[in-house]
Every structure is written in structure tokens, then in C-alpha cells.
Amino acid sequence: MKSVRLARAIAKGAVKVRNAKTGQLLLKFRSPGAADRLMHPYPHGQQTEASTFVNLSRMYSADQLMASNLEDLLLAQDLELDDRA
């Protein structure tokens, strides 16, 4: 795993992300039983609100998150990771 921030978030069980682009993104899972997730953009007037982040740790296991394209989307800055704890 290249992203230390993502590794820490997975270990804490708090992987909160939001779409950083104006269009929709597809979060793809390589694990059986985990359906791909469409990430919609948030209104830019709500940039400071924590409610714009989605907690993926509540929906997916750590193994499923590691076997997805989540890290690629974060490194490409297509998704933002919430560092607030």
C-alpha cells in the first residue's frame, strides 16, 4: 500500500471519502460479493461540512477496501480522504 494515510484510516476503521471531482466516479471492488459503488459529487458550498464524506468502513471490510481501486483514486486526487478524527 502506497498511501500511509489510507493505511492508517483502514487500521482505525474510519475510511471517510468524498468525490473531489465534478463528475461521478466508480469505486470498483475486486472482492466477490462487494458491488461497485458510484461516488457522486457534493455541492461545493458544503466543502467544510463533514456530512459530505461517506464512511466506507461501515459498509465494507478492510480486505474489501484494500482489494479495490480506492487507493488509485486517492493517489490520483479523484477522491478526498477525511483526516479529521
Q: What's the Rg (C-alpha) of the chain?
A: 12
- Domains in the chain, number: 1
Average pLDDT over the chain, rounded to an integer: 91
Structural domain harbouring 53: 4-81
Residue 75's region, left for phi above 0, alpha for psi from -120 to 50, else beta, is: alpha
Residue 44's region, left for phi above 0, alpha for psi from -120 to 50, else beta, is: alpha
Per-residue pLDDT of 34-71, as tens digits, reads: 999 999 998 878 888 888 999 999 999 999 999 999 99
**Torsion angle in degrees (nearest 10) through CA of 73, 74, 79, 80:** 180
